[in-house]
Structure 1
Amino acid sequence: MAISRIGFVVLYLTVVFASFIAFSSTVALGQCRGDFQGLVRQCSRFVQKTGPKSNPSSECCNVVKNVDFQCVCQHVTGEVEQIISMEKAVYVAASCGRPLVHGTKCGSYTVPMKEEIDQVII
């Protein structure tokens, strides 16, 4: 019981922290198309640095389908990369039918070829 509460608190704090980072970059991200609050709310558990790689939910994919990742990637900061696994974020985008082009820079991360994305073990 205590472990599940701790897990919930960690997830909640991650969402709050990610929301804070997203809001601090609002001016830059305001240029990008998409629901960033929805992205944090629906997809944060799938892109956290901790935990295994897992397939995103349909709710997450519904938000992902309307996000301009090419634009968002230009605004990924080091602070964002401290809490979000860019490998998982690229995997989630691809799993939702929005793969990023091989060689795209997303923060300091370079998107590998599709075969490498599928083989990433986190």
Structure 2
Amino acid sequence: MANSHIFALAILMLAGTLILSDYQVSAQCGVNFSQLVSQCSQYVTIPGPKIPPSEGCCTVLKPIDIPCACKYVTPDIEKLVSMDKAVYVGRTCGLKIEPGTKCGSYTVPPGLKI
């Protein structure tokens, strides 16, 4: 019984952390999470090939402060999102993403082609 309480507390703490993190990223970095997920998730998920993003995805990405948002990339996000594809999508949309930029544990390599 004690283990189930610890597990429930861990889930609540994780959920709270994700919500707080989403709020911080939204407020400080210009991210609209609901639009980002609905417009861009299909282009950055781990399985599958790199495909050019839609105009709608690019519209959602343009106001995002990339270095700011990169500070909030967690290992949980990296389990769902291919950072290589995310850079490809951002650059395809015309965002300037500098080589050496750190997003979670991912470092944008020099010469990454779109």
Normalising by structure 1, report the TM-score: 0.73
In structure 2, what is the equivalent of residue 34 of structure 1? 31
Q: Which blocks of at least 5 consecutive residues in structure 1 are unaligned?
A: 1-20
Q: Tell which deviates more after alignment, 31-40 or 60-69.
A: 31-40
Identity percentage of aligned residues? 45
Quick one: distance in 2 between partners of 1:101 and 1:117? 12
Alignment of 1:1-122 (within 5 A): 23=19, 25-29=21-25, 30-113=27-110, 115-118=111-114
Q: Which blocks of at least 5 consecutive residues in structure 2 are unaligned?
A: 1-16
Quick one: distance in 1 between partners of 2:18 and 2:60? 15
* Alignment check: 8 A CA contact 1:39 1:63 kept: yes
CA RMSD of aligned residues (A): 1.9
Q: Which runs of 4+ in 1 moved over 6 A?
A: none
How far the C-alpha of 1:31 sits from its partner, in A, is 2.0
In structure 2, what is the equivalent of residue 12 of structure 1? none
Quick one: distance in 1 between partners of 2:80 and 2:73? 11
How far the C-alpha of 1:24 sits from its partner, in A, is 5.1
Quick one: distance in 1 between partners of 2:88 and 2:63? 16
Larger radius of gyration: 2
Aligned length: 98
